[in-house]
Chain A
Amino acid sequence: MTPERAQSLPLSAEAAEPRCSEAAVPVWLVVLLLLLAFGGMVYFDQRGGWFNPQVYAPYVSVVELQSFQPPTGGINLERGKQVYESICALCHNPDGAGKPNQAPPFAGSEWVLGNPNRIIRIPLSGLNGPVKVKDVEWNLSMPAMGAALSDDDLAAVLSYMRSSWGNKAAQITPAQVKAVRAEIGNHTQMWTAEQLNAVQ
């Protein structure tokens, strides 16, 4: 499509092809296109979900989708603290240090930190007779203080005891409490330390 070739053709044979002029693209058009592109990118960024295959309308991002996932049922330690302070703290002290000749300590106690199946049994049926806590021998009797608590509340208070005052043990779930309750059935007699030590 050079000028020479166009001139060499007979005029009547074919009209010259339309050709672009040399005029530059107007600046306002460039600006408008850039603005449109910017708006499009902002819109996509906010609502496009970044092509994630798990994000469907009306959700706009994985973050939003995650905020609508059902809760996993964590333990409410604040509830545990309340239950502890209203029931257990009278004898065992709010700081878990216990009271001399009245109740053994919870802070650092191997009974609290150890096998969950043992510590769950104590509030459910009570504990009677000699028991060794942190190398000190106690010979007292605790009634079934937690038998009336719900599974949720008992799990919360035991989890609170296991994660406070320097204690660091795994939380106890309501399901574990429920399982132990089912296991002991209508056992109403207080446990002895030997019976509990036999529990696995």
Chain B
Amino acid sequence: MNYGPLIFLSAFFALAGSWFGFVITPQVQIGRLQPTNTLGNPLTYPLARPGLAHQGLEVYRANGCADCHSQQVRQTGVLLEVALADAGTNKPAVVAALVKFKSGLSEADAQRVLAELPKTLLRGIQRQEADAALKLLSTAGAKAALSIVPQGPDLARGWGRRRTVAEDFLYDNPVLLGAQRIGPDLANAGSRRPDLNWELCHLYAPSSEVKGSAMPACRFLFEKRPTEPGLAPEALVFPGGMDPAPGYQILPRPEAMALAAYLLSLRADAPLFEAPLLSSAAATNAPAAPAATTNTPSAHPAKSS
């Protein structure tokens, strides 16, 4: 074993090299990440989760939700679109502009385009092309808009509007990215369905909301109580056929409320420099929140106990 020092040194440098590359360098680069501004109208992003949602992160973690649900949206590309919203008052000038930048478009076709506004004119073009078209159209007095639309299978499934980036997880400790997708991705759970009752019913009995769901029911987060003194405001309202036995109601425990608040706070669709996004939908930085913190009795269908 006279190669001892050589083996030791190679092992040392191999480990030190990967430690330097995978631990130290990312730490230097994004270890001190601060909230930034969203694009367009500058809002601080991200905002810390409100208290109950912050506790919900612990419930999410404790119950192993991240074993089956990821919180990372992938993106494979991005498309630029130019859409014409309004032709303005000088229609001949707009027609001339259209014919100029849209090759193969006759004047009669351009007239027809103006008749069916708003319309997407160009799709999947380079930025210079888009800027040139926008300039021509706005010089002619028309109102044209650029859209920056991220593309990818995850986005096509409706799991988000853009890919997730490090900034989105600034207030997650630990970051629960998840490695498997036995269930759907939850990076935008709150903005996709801001409905507290839905979340609670789904936790209590997943198949009541999603047919054929493979998710285990989290009944231990709920209590079955007699409706004796009266129906509690936070009692679950099931979509149909799943109602508890007559004279009983299902009440969420604090853990269930925290978990649901956490799920409703999940939102990673603010436009950022790293993940640009531009569409007609208004930009926001706020964590998605339910319309009300409890499903108040007034929203309940009348129930006889």
A residues sitting closer than 8 Å to B (CB atoms) are: 1, 51, 53-59, 65, 67-71, 76, 78-79, 82-83, 152-153
Given A1-B2, A51-B25, A79-B138: A68 and B274 interface contact (C-beta under 8 Å)? no
With a cutoff of 8 Å between Cβ atoms, the chain B residues found around residue A57 in the complex are 75, 163
- Structural contact, A53 and B146, CB atoms closer than 8 A: no
B56 lies within 8 A of chain A by Cβ? no
Given A56-B163, A76-B135, A78-B135: A70 and B148 interface contact (C-beta under 8 Å)? yes
Residue of A whose beta carbon sits closest to that of B151: A58
- Structural contact, A68 and B127, CB atoms closer than 8 A: yes
Chain A proximity of B195: nearest CB distance (Å): 31
> How long is the Cα–Cα vector from A70 to B30 in the complex, in angstroms?
24
B273 lies within 8 A of chain A by Cβ? yes
15 contacts between A and B (CB under 8 A): A53-B26, A53-B29, A53-B166, A54-B274, A56-B165, A56-B275, A58-B76, A58-B152, A65-B273, A67-B127, A68-B80, A68-B148, A69-B39, A71-B131, A152-B138
Which residues of B, 93-127, contact A by the 8 Å Cβ criterion?
126-127
Given A68-B78, A70-B148: A56 and B274 interface contact (C-beta under 8 Å)? yes
- Structural contact, B146 and A71, CB atoms closer than 8 A: yes
Chain B proximity of A156: nearest CB distance (Å): 8
- Structural contact, A69 and B165, CB atoms closer than 8 A: no
> How long is the Cα–Cα vector from A86 to B139 in the complex, in angstroms?
13
- Structural contact, A69 and B273, CB atoms closer than 8 A: yes
- Structural contact, A70 and B80, CB atoms closer than 8 A: no
- Structural contact, A82 and B141, CB atoms closer than 8 A: yes
Which residues of B, 254-290, contact A by the 8 Å Cβ criterion?
271, 273-276, 278
B64 lies within 8 A of chain A by Cβ? no
> How long is the Cα–Cα vector from A83 to B152 in the complex, in angstroms?
42
> How long is the Cα–Cα vector from A54 to B274 in the complex, in angstroms?
5
Which residues of B, 189-245, contact A by the 8 Å Cβ criterion?
none
Interface string of B140-161 (1 = CB under 8 A from A): 0100001010001000000000
> How long is the Cα–Cα vector from A6 to B263 in the complex, in angstroms?
70
> How long is the Cα–Cα vector from A53 to B139 in the complex, in angstroms?
38
Which residues of B, 13-37, contact A by the 8 Å Cβ criterion?
25-26, 29-30
Residue of A whose beta carbon sits closest to that of B80: A68
With a cutoff of 8 Å between Cβ atoms, the chain A residues found around residue B148 in the complex are 68, 70
With a cutoff of 8 Å between Cβ atoms, the chain A residues found around residue B278 in the complex are 70
With a cutoff of 8 Å between Cβ atoms, the chain A residues found around residue B2 in the complex are 1
Chain A proximity of B57: nearest CB distance (Å): 24
- Structural contact, B275 and A69, CB atoms closer than 8 A: no
> How long is the Cα–Cα vector from A51 to B274 in the complex, in angstroms?
13
Q: With A56-B165, A76-B135 given, can you name 19 additional A-B contacts, CB distance below 8 Å?
A: A51-B29, A53-B29, A53-B30, A56-B274, A58-B75, A65-B276, A67-B126, A68-B78, A68-B80, A68-B148, A69-B39, A69-B276, A70-B39, A70-B146, A79-B139, A79-B141, A82-B141, A83-B141, A153-B141
Interface string of B78-90 (1 = CB under 8 A from A): 1010000000000
Contact for B40 among A54, A65, A70, CB less than 8 A: A70
- Structural contact, B276 and A68, CB atoms closer than 8 A: yes
